[in-house]
Amino acid sequence: MVRYMLRLGTLGFGGPVALVGYMYRDLVEERHWISDADYKEGMALAQLMPGPLAAQLAIYLGYVHFRLWGATLVGLAFVLPSFVMVVALGVAYKAYGGISWMQAVFYGVGASVIGIIALSAYKLTTKSIGKDRLLWAIYLVSAGVTIATQSEVIWVFLGAGLLVWAVRGPLKRTGSRLHGLAWAAPLAGSLGLDNVDWQKLGQIGTYFAYAGTFVFGSGLAIVPFLYGGVVKEYAWLTDRQFVDAVAVAMITPGPVVITTGFTGFLTAGFWGAVVAAAATFLPCYLLTVIPAPYFKKHGKQPAVVAFVDGVTAAAVGAIAGAVVVLGQRSIVDLPTAALALATVAVLWRFKKLPEPVVVLAAALIGLVVFPLTVQF
């Protein structure tokens, strides 16, 4: 299982929906390591809890046969390859970010990412909201609040869940609150701690643990939430850097939420990346292994299902709003607008085309077009 998850984390492109599909194909249908019932229970739990869908499913599948050791090792194996990649890209970004070719790459990639997020928001909307008028109202309010405030407001999420619960059924039990703890382990002896800004690391750990604990929806749901914190509140990154961080997550395999590692690296170097990634994924781990033994018994209660429906509608609305907010920063001229629209058109027409291929093509287009826009 660890070897398989290392491979999937290294080569698994396509986002959370593709990753959970690979797990079903490989572990249930082909290798028969996981039963169909266990897989479906894992999917239900991953959708119920906040955090990245694919990472939580991987953790649960590790838990099925090997309990805590399996959940821990499998979860680390799934996340570690993409973490190493984003740190390496962070080093290159810091070293060469001011050079024109790097700016040109992200000129194209940033626009393409907006197209990808827009298409993802559309798919999530049609799949999650359907024709439910109450969920549509929540969706539109959440999108409007995200656009107006340029950040994700957690109280909109919680309020949406409580509203749908109130409309559809009585609350039978209240959920307990889990606080993620930021931690960092020395991964390389050559990386000293002498110049570490402990105060900033504490802020990073606290903020990303909060994000990992309370952000529902797919991996993209964390994008508007992070924007409100790392750009608007703390000013750790500029608008351009934040869009680049999302782009890095798109062009690397593994969970989209690994963008937190890149963000942490730009903010406070290697240890910032370690703390940001660990603080984001630790709540996800805890929110999977702690309720796992009890989920089969309580996961289908009407009150729980109603609350999750409301939260999901708000999360999808926030993603739709984030398309507008981030698009204002990345769509800066006609070529970038054309790239975003072309990305949507290509992925809509060729549904099996891997997103990284489209992003790579956008990077190559950026290398050609960006110097021309600078000249003119």
Higher pLDDT, 263 or 170: 263
133's CB contacts (< 8 A; 6+ apart) are: none
DSSP summary character for residue 257 = G
pLDDT by residue (tens digit) across 340-369?
999 899 988 887 787 778 888 988 998 899
pLDDT tens profile 281-336: 998 899 888 888 876 666 567 776 787 778 777 777 877 887 887 787 778 889 98
Contacts of 115 (CB under 8 A, 6+ apart): 339, 340, 341, 342, 343, 344, 347
- CA distances for 53 relative to 15, 38, 45, 59, 106, angstroms: 10, 16, 9, 10, 27
pLDDT at 187: 33
In angstroms, rounded to a whole number, what is the distance separating the alpha carbons of residues 37 and 61? Answer: 11
Tens of pLDDT, residue by residue over 247-283, are 777 667 777 678 889 899 999 889 999 999 999 899 8
Q: Which of 88, 49, 25 is nearest to 265 (CA)?
A: 88
DSSP, collapsed to helix, strand or coil, labels residue 218 as coil
Residue 105 near residue 208 (C-beta atoms within 8 A): no
HSE of 153, CA atoms in CB hemisphere, 13 A: 16
pLDDT digits (tens, 9 = 90+) for 97-141: 655 676 787 788 878 878 877 887 787 788 778 788 888 998 899
Tokens 């838990």 belong to residue:
63
User: Are the CB atoms for 277 and 249 separated by under 8 Å?
Assistant: no
CA distance 217 to 115: 19
Backbone phi and psi for residue 188, each to the nearest 5 degrees, phi listed first? -150, 130
Are 165 and 310 a contacting pair, CB within 8 Å? Answer: yes
